[in-house]
Amino acid sequence: MASYTDTQIEAMKKDDLRYFLHPTSSIVDMESWGGPKIIEEGCGIRLKSIEGKTIIDCGAGLWLNNVGLGRTELAEAAKQQMEKLSYFQTFNGYSHPLVIETAKKVAGMIPMDNPRIFFTSGGSESNDTAYKLARMYWYLQGKPNKHHIIARTKAYHGVSYGAVSATSLPGFWDGFRPLVPAFHHIEHPHCYFCPWGKEQDQCNLECAEALEEKIIELGKENVAAFTAEPIIGTGGAIVPPDGYYQRIHEICDKYDVLFIADEVITGFGRTGKMFGMLHYGVQADIMMMAKGITSGYIPMGAVGISERVFTPIKSHGIFMHGYTYSGHPVACAVALKNIEIVERENLAENARVVGEQLRSRIRDLSLPCIGEVRGIGLINGVQLVQDDAARIKFGPEIGFAKRVSAIAWENGLALRPLMDDGLQLSPALVITETDVIELVDKLGRSIKQAYDEFLGNQP
């Protein structure tokens, strides 16, 4: 039974439209709906709307709820720490026991030799920190001109000014120029829609060679770093081809360019390993983290800094950068308990196993508008196309994935459309095979209904 009357629900939606500016949300759409979709409660992988409707969260919030909703252990950890020490700064040589413990724990987990950990409030801050670290590193080497940073198309690295300059998705730059200078982009690796028109396993990794070409174009004496998500997230849940990151790392080494791994989405078990780069056997010089570090129970991010990058900063004596909430005691308490749950319940392995089941069952739907079903662990994308054999996309004016998502909501799924009519499937890592069966049944019905509508509208 719903907790609110129809009158209360209508008033709440009007107040939302009147007072709240939503991040990255269509104001036109919300007004046409009569207000936003309002979530009241959550447990495990399921949400409850204020109307009392139960919904499977197919996106773990924004890729982040690794341990599921409603974990009382995390609430208790936060409560106890708030009562003991709710906040104190970590500037000016101050510390506290939990920030030390959390830094030690994270440093021992990430694939990086002898790292230091810098804490932030989220992924955008972690990205900004990483780019400042890369530029400062070369400045301290007496190479201030070595400040250019290369990212990729379809990359999402956040929305603060440094982060959004590395991001390359439609709409994120509109109205915000000028961006931070000296950011550049190469084409992303996506074999299904290969920018070079190649077929997987029948190419020379042109997607990786593009990095070398860009470094040569800019001049190796000018390039500070290359930054990449181990698996592209918001740009489409795109897994690179075999050998891609090994070749990328070789190119970075060849031209003395730092490699920055954005593990904000992929970290803490989502890919079926604790971190995405573990799939490739490649170590980054700098690594960004957030999201799964606390499963979204409280805002927190982190940056792993290699010995190579830290050494000149230590010699310099100070890193003139920081955030008010860097190493927040309550965030540290939640992070430690969250990581304990991920490890204790072996959620990375569950992501690996159930992710395979999810992709297999979606492929078994055999719907003509499902092209590629891609992913690793529980970071997955379903590519919707007009013609799979010819890999012909729906036109952007059709908004096919958006229509599927609207129908899915009515069928009990919170489903997010991605670029080029992809669908995001990245539920919490506690999802079971039984949950997958229900999810895929509702997904299949939603896609079929949208496709039947599309065919019925054709001349």
Choose one of 315, 344, 373: the last residue of a domain: 344
Distance CA 229, CA 242 (A): 15
The CATH number assigned to the domain holding 229 equals 3.40.640.10
User: Is 443 found in the same domain as 371?
Assistant: yes
Distance CA 346, CA 333 (A): 20
Q: State which residues of the chain have pLDDT below 50.
A: none
Structural domain including 198 reads 72-344
The CATH number assigned to the domain holding 444 equals 3.90.1150.10
Two structure tokens written together for 416 = 């997010």
19 within some domain: no
258 within some domain: yes
Q: Cα 69–417–386 angle (5° rounding)? A: 145
Per-residue model confidence (pLDDT) at position 415 = 98
126 within some domain: yes
User: Is 177 found in the same domain as 61?
Assistant: no
User: Is 378 found in the same domain as 326?
Assistant: no
Q: Domain count of the chain? A: 2
User: Is 386 found in the same domain as 259?
Assistant: no
Per-residue model confidence (pLDDT) at position 201 = 87
Choose one of 319, 344, 369: the last residue of a domain: 344
DSSP secondary structure letters along 367-378: -TTEEEEEEETT
User: Is 264 found in the same domain as 166?
Assistant: yes
User: Is 393 found in the same domain as 321?
Assistant: no
User: Is 182 found in the same domain as 61?
Assistant: no
Residue with tokens 């509208």: 457
Per-residue model confidence (pLDDT) at position 222 = 98
User: Is 258 found in the same domain as 166?
Assistant: yes
Q: Are 196 and 230 in contact (CB under 8 A)?
A: no
CB-based burial of residue 390 (10 Å sphere; 0-12 exposed, 13-18 middle, 19+ buried)? exposed
106 within some domain: yes
User: Is 357 found in the same domain as 334?
Assistant: no
14 within some domain: no
User: Is 280 found in the same domain as 164?
Assistant: yes
392 within some domain: yes
30 within some domain: no
User: Is 366 found in the same domain as 240?
Assistant: no
User: Is 109 found in the same domain as 48?
Assistant: no
Per-residue model confidence (pLDDT) at position 368 = 95
Per-residue model confidence (pLDDT) at position 457 = 81
The pTM score is: 0.97
148 Cβ contact list (under 8 Å, min separation 6):
182, 183, 184, 218, 222, 223, 224
Distance CA 95, CA 102 (A): 12
Choose one of 310, 344, 378: the last residue of a domain: 344
20 within some domain: no
